[in-house]
């Protein structure tokens, strides 16, 4: 039995915590995945998983073995990709993660032409609003918006992402249009709780920075949900531009304090420092930098 395939099955089960889910991921039957793992355990003469009818969990030996298996599979995949890439076409797997809202809209829109141009790329995209550990999850790339915590990951900035203040025309007719930042204190404010200072809005007007500590009427960690609430006339939203730009262009939302400057976030690509950056991954990062840079950061090289 192929040793690499048994290791690949073991890693998939460990990542999915399920033989069935591992089979779906690998395109194999649950029975075959179980056979591969059982064969590996027999060859190693040790138990890698504790199995019950309800769960699958790594043993201590299994945890140690997993840590050593991942880089081996990465190297094998890189070797395979090197051969394919030298045949000119970009090919092979890319495993990336991104925030749900951004990933399902702007990121997907940017990925479509890349995947159309390179049909041999095998994309696995994990969308989640919880930050995941790339190495532990076996991922190649993370797309993130906002300030970056201290990390061993390598980061490349793809674009700026302005935060904008906006509200529905109906709300502004009822409550009035703020003429200066301090007037926001009298309004219902909708805050993005993804931001480290969701109740502190920093707005620069006529060369002066206003630091406003607001009691946000509604907080939410999904910018798309905030946009929907603003559309419903519930208040003034502070949202990343990508979530509201279509509504602003259509007039369903209006900018608030358009002459003022507010926070500008960054859109970043992050990847592990010890992982070989394949040509396909470099090409994808360059493509996203071009797509996003042209959209939100015209001056970004």
Q: In the chain, which residues fall in CATH 3.40.190.290?
A: 89-301
pLDDT tens, 91-113? 888 999 999 989 999 999 999 99
The pLDDT of residue 9 is above 70:
yes
- CA 66/CA 85 separation, integer angstroms: 28
Chain-wide mean pLDDT for the chain? 87
CATH code: domain 89-301 is: 3.40.190.290
Q: Give the list of residues 6+ apart from residue 251 with CB closer than 8 angstroms, or none.
A: 169
CA 161 to chain centre: 14
**CATH of 3-84 given 1.25.40.10, 3.30.160.250, 3.60.21.10, 1.10.10.10:** 1.10.10.10
Q: What is the mean pLDDT of residues 50-79?
A: 86
Between 41-45, 61-65, 211-215, the lowest mean confidence (pLDDT) is in 211-215
**CA nearest to 280, candidates 72, 96, 11:** 96
pLDDT higher than threshold 70 for residue 300: no
Residue 146 has pLDDT above 60, yes or no: yes
Residue 168 has pLDDT above 70, yes or no: yes
pLDDT at 171: 95
Q: Contact at 8 Å (CB) between 142 and 134?
A: yes
Q: What span, in angstroms and rounded, lies between the C-alpha atoms of 28 and 287?
A: 33
Q: Where in the chain is the domain with CATH 1.10.10.10?
A: 3-84
Please indicate whether residue 276 or residue 201 has the higher confidence score (pLDDT): 201
pTM greater than 0.75 (yes/no): no
Provide the token pair at 9: 């099955």
Mean pLDDT in residue range 162-189: 92
Region 184-193 average pLDDT: 88
Q: What is the pLDDT of residue 207?
A: 79
């Amino acid at each position: 039995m192929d040793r690499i395939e048994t290791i690949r099955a073991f890693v998939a089960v460990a990542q999915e915590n399920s033989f069935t889910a591992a089979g779906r991921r690998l395109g194999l039957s649950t029975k075959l995945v179980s056979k591969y793992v059982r064969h590996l355990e027999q060859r190693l003469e040790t138990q890698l998983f504790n199995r019950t009818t309800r769960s699958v969990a790594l043993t201590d030996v299994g945890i140690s073995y997993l840590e050593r298996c991942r880089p081996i599979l990465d190297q094998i995949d890189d070797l395979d990709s090197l051969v394919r890439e030298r045949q000119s076409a970009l090919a092979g797997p890319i495993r990336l993660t991104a925030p749900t809202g951004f990933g399902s809209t702007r990121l997907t829109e940017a990925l479509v032409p890349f995947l159309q141009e390179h049909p041999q790329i095998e994309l696995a995209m994990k969308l989640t609003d919880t930050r995941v550990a790339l190495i532990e999850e076996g991922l190649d790339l993370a797309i993130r918006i906002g300030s970056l915590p201290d990390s061993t990951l390598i980061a490349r900035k793809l674009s700026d992402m302005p935060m904008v203040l906006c509200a529905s025309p109906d709300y502004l007719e009822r409550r009035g249009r703020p003429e200066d930042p301090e007037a926001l204190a009298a309004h219902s404010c909708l805050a993005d709780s993804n931001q480290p200072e969701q109740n502190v809005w920093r707005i620069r007007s006529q060369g002066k920075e206003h630091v406003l500590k607001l009691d946000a009427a509604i907080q939410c960690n999904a910018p798309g949900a905030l946009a929907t609430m603003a559309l419903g006339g519930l208040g003034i939203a502070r949202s990343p531009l990508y979530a509201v730009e279509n509504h602003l262009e259509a007039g369903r939302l209006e900018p608030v304090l358009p002459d003022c400057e507010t926070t500008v976030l960054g859109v970043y690509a992050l990847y592990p420092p010890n992982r070989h950056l394949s040509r396909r991954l470099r090409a994808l990062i360059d493509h996203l930098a071009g797509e996003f840079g042209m959209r939100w950061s015209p001056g970004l090289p």
